[in-house]
Structure 1
């Protein structure tokens, strides 16, 4: 049987350096007999020469539009805005199944072109758990930014973070953090909720890499129900729990007003201010790399970080990790009647029938 042709398209979302397929992932596919085409990209954290070295075909940026019809177009973030019919099979985070802005326009393009969408968010195992996720690096990056914000607060910087950028690798980031902490006489204590999950383990590992005191909370510590006054007594609170049921909030505006509050930085890694079950009902919108911090209290300083693409801070490690998880399933693309593919396709078909 002829192996599938996988076409890695260049990301076009501003500042997005991550990729769904690292050079190592491309090598795995090529060695297994797949044809791999990789678009030139000025944003990809990996140089195209690394893909060429593993015998991937290098093609022009944006040329997926004219790729052979049987090519499977792989990406990470949304397609460039346009209106032409989509004829290919696509694998990427489309953000089109929860009636997000433009969802009908996008799905109608697939419907008109006869193409198919295998949304990365919905590639799940039998337990409905995503088979590939960026969670670990979201937690690691979120905790890193919280420590940097805390250290800068101690130095009187306002805002404590501004116009942040991605780092070449985690060692560069850790060097920056160690330097920032060394300028302060004390060290922060972190409290991580969801410490045993993907994101939480990343946050805990960041704290341990810096030899910082970290309180690791999970189900046992939160089963009594919030709000939790203990959060206010840590220097930094890292939320790594995405709540999908009606529970008491972890923290409230009233609790944060207590004069004895020690807490000065909150990072909401889960970042769900628009959801019905947000456990941190203290803010209404996400922050950004350009404006990372939202000042919640000026008199007793308190800043909040709620960035919805935290793994972009470390595009190399997050891409390598994600790609390693995903490539196991890309290797099964020759038979999409098995594995993660049938359910993803069935969901797509249900959704296009809703428009």
Structure 2
């Protein structure tokens, strides 16, 4: 592992997954800052799709380098294609292997075969188990925007640009200043990074935030949203008082209390972390009832049926085709914007719609929280917790993946 006594050479890899991701782990400015503040040298593999042009890096004194074989550490975003992995290196990227995802089994097998030290951003946590680095905040921002964009497309009441067609978030804020919304009612679930980002976006649009009780009991002449936590949308099946710790440990003992919200909301933005032991917000049968008022669902967390808190999230949608319809009467997908269907926005890589802003946000966390820890090497508990593989073996925390990588397909 690199240590703080020597200059560590870091390479930012070109994203190789198809379709390619435009995000970067560090912006040009952050690369330059890192080389001043830390004992590192950073080079960048040229890319035609990265949101920051090659010339933006060179303008900040960052060299372009195609062959990264002399680098100590390689930084990426999405899964690295097996053929592009360099043996014996330390990699940081989102591997999507921690839940034994079948499509990435071969990737983790190759990591072990090539003696790669794999540090997964998703596994980098503090001593309380809280993640140190994530894109969730921007997933929330984009998800909330897309919820309103979908409503505008469905009803024709207003029009919003796609974020993926905007230079950055600042450009969209200028649009929001002129936006006139009808008296919509929006319910947002969750209190974490995703929901915090979504709430910021709704406030940036000028939408008034109201308490859950007000949302359920009052009528408003302007667009409003409420943000609800677990104690608002579930209850113990035996009537016991809600206890957050107990709910997270014994979700199967709880039932949904979300019905009052689906009777009052036009738009539902889902930002919770879902444990399949917990109840879904509602059933397909409830969606068939006349009092189910929701017409647009932005499922930012995008857990797919059957392990989903939202029964209409039957698949992930894509940035190029963000919305599909779901007809609860037949339980099937339809084209979007039909009267008998609920429109579902379930893009699974939302931060990619605002790659420059999301990259800057992510890179700040990487620069301040992760790179200093990485330079401490084995002395860093955070890096140890985030390390899936080393020296051809799974680390102690990830030995539960042994059966996953043992399967030969």
Give the TM-score taking structure 1 as reference length: 0.87
Checking the alignment, whether the CA contact within 8 Å between 1:267 and 1:304 is kept in structure 2 is yes
**Map of 2:387 onto structure 1:** 345
Equivalent of residue 372 in structure 2, options 326, 331, 354: 331
Pick closer, same or farther for the CA change 1:43–1:352 going to 2, 3 Å: farther
Equivalent residue number for residue 208 of structure 1: 203
> Cα–Cα, structure 1 residues 177 and 152, in superposed 2: closer, same or farther, change >3 Å?
farther
- Report how far residue 24 of structure 1 moved: 2.8
Match status 1:2 vs 2:3:
no
Q: Specify every segment of 5 or more residues in structure 2 that has no aligned partner in the other structure, as ranges.
A: 208-223, 236-254, 328-337
- Name 2:62's counterpart in structure 1: 56
- Superposed, 1:171-210 pairs within 5 Å as 171-175=170-174, 182=180, 186-194=182-190, 196-210=191-205
Q: Distance in 1 between the 2:152 and 2:372 partners? A: 45
Matched with 1:290 is 320
Distance across 2 between alignment mates of 1:286 and 1:155: 25
Paired residues, number: 343
Q: Is residue 15–residue 78 contact of structure 2 (8 Å, CA) maintained in 1?
A: yes
Aligned partner of 2:265 in structure 1 is 234
Residues 325, 164 of structure 1: alpha-carbon distance in 2 compared, 3 angstrom cutoff: closer
| Closer/same/farther in 2, CA of residues 260 and 108 from structure 1, 3 Å limit | closer
Residues 87 and 275 (structure 1 numbering): CA distance in 2 closer, same or farther, change over 3 Å? Answer: farther
Q: Structure 1 19/321 Cα, relative in aligned 2: closer, same or farther at 3 Å?
A: same
Q: 1:176 to 1:275 in 2, by over 3 A?
A: farther
Task: Tell me if the contact between 1:142 and 1:269 (Cα under 8 Å) persists in the aligned partners.
Answer: yes
Task: Quickly say closer, same or farther: Cα 1:286–1:177, change in 2 above 3 A.
Answer: farther
Q: Deviations over 1:110-154 (max 9, x none)?
A: 233222111111111111121101111111100100101101211
3-state DSSP class of the match of 1:199? helix
Report the CA distance shift for 1:327/1:239 in structure 2 as closer, same or farther (over 3 A): same
Q: 1:246 to 1:311 in 2, by over 3 A?
A: same
Residue of structure 2 in register with 1:92 after alignment? 93
Q: 1:15 deviation in Å?
A: 4.7
Write the deviation string for residues 10-54 of structure 1: whole angstroms up to 9, x where unpaired: 113325211111123212320123110111111111223332233
- Tell me the equivalent position of 1:73: 74
- Give 1:217's aligned residue: 228
Task: Please name the residue that 2:44 is paired with.
Answer: 38
CA contact (8 A) 2:11 2:42 kept: yes
- Residues of 2 paired with 1:11 and 1:317: CA distance? 18
Give the corresponding residue for 1:119: 120
CA–CA distance in structure 1, aligned partners of residues 52 and 280 of structure 2:
41
Question: CA distance change for structure 1 residues 84 and 75 in 2, over 3 Å: closer, same or farther?
Answer: closer
User: Cα gap change, 1:167/1:24 in structure 2, threshold over 3 Å: closer, same or farther?
Assistant: same
Q: Distance in 2 between matches of 1:345 and 1:207?
A: 36
CA 1:174/1:85 → structure 2, altered by over 3 Å: closer, same or farther?
Answer: closer
How far the C-alpha of 1:352 sits from its partner, in A, is 6.3
Which stretches in structure 1 are left out of the alignment for 5+ residues?
A: none
> Judging changes above 3 Å, is the alpha-carbon distance between structure 1 residues 84 and 34 closer, same or farther for their aligned structure 2 residues?
closer
Distance 1:300-1:266 versus aligned 2 partners, 3 A rule? same
Per-residue deviation, 1:233: 1.8
Q: Relative to structure 1, is the Cα distance of residues 114 and 137 closer, same or farther in structure 2, using a 3 angstrom cutoff?
A: same
Describe the shift of the 1:335–1:164 C-alpha distance in structure 2 as closer, same or farther (beyond 3 A). closer
Offset from partner CA, 1:244-302 (integer Å, 9 cap, x none): 251221122122222243321001111111563x2112332111112211212344442
Confirm or deny: 8 A CA contact 2:21 2:49 kept in the other structure.
yes
1:305 maps to 2:345: yes
Contact kept in structure 2, 1:139 and 1:203, CA below 8 Å = yes
Measure how far apart 1:99 and its partner are. Answer: 2.5
Q: Is 1:148 the counterpart of 2:178 in the alignment?
A: no
How far the C-alpha of 1:102 sits from its partner, in A, is 4.3
- Corresponding residue of 1:319: 359
Partner of 1:133: 134
Structure 1 residues 232 and 116: alpha-carbon distance in aligned structure 2, compared to 1, 3 A threshold: same
CA 1:201–1:305: 2 relative to 1, 3 Å: same
Q: Report SS of the residue matched to 2:74.
A: strand
Name the CA shift for 1:48/1:292 in 2 (closer, same or farther; >3 Å): same
| Cross-structure match for 2:221 | none
